Structure 1
Amino acid sequence: MKMEDGTTHIFEGYRAQHLDALGPYKGGIRYHPDVTADEIKALAKWMTLK
């Protein structure tokens, strides 16, 4: 991402999709130093069930 001061910074993030049979995917992208891929997979599953 290009920052306001002109420098470039790379952020690590996760995105997961779960079960598209019921229609469009729900969810989002998570950028946080303490988040794990397994946590994002679980959130995607909960959004499907919701």
Structure 2
Amino acid sequence: MPARTKPRISLRKAPQQARSAQLVADILEAAIHVLTRDGARRFTTAR
């Protein structure tokens, strides 16, 4: 299995501040965690 790479997701606008960039990274990491644990069927913002 190939090494996991960072997902290529297009953002409308790149974050300028470090904390904004970290927030985007944290949200994407959480999304990956939910998809891995629960699958696409349970992937929703209504939790």
TM-score calculated relative to the size of structure 2: 0.36
Q: Which has the larger radius of gyration?
A: 1
Higher relative contact order by CA 8 Å / sep ≥ 6: 1 or 2?
1
Which has more strand, going by share of residues? 1
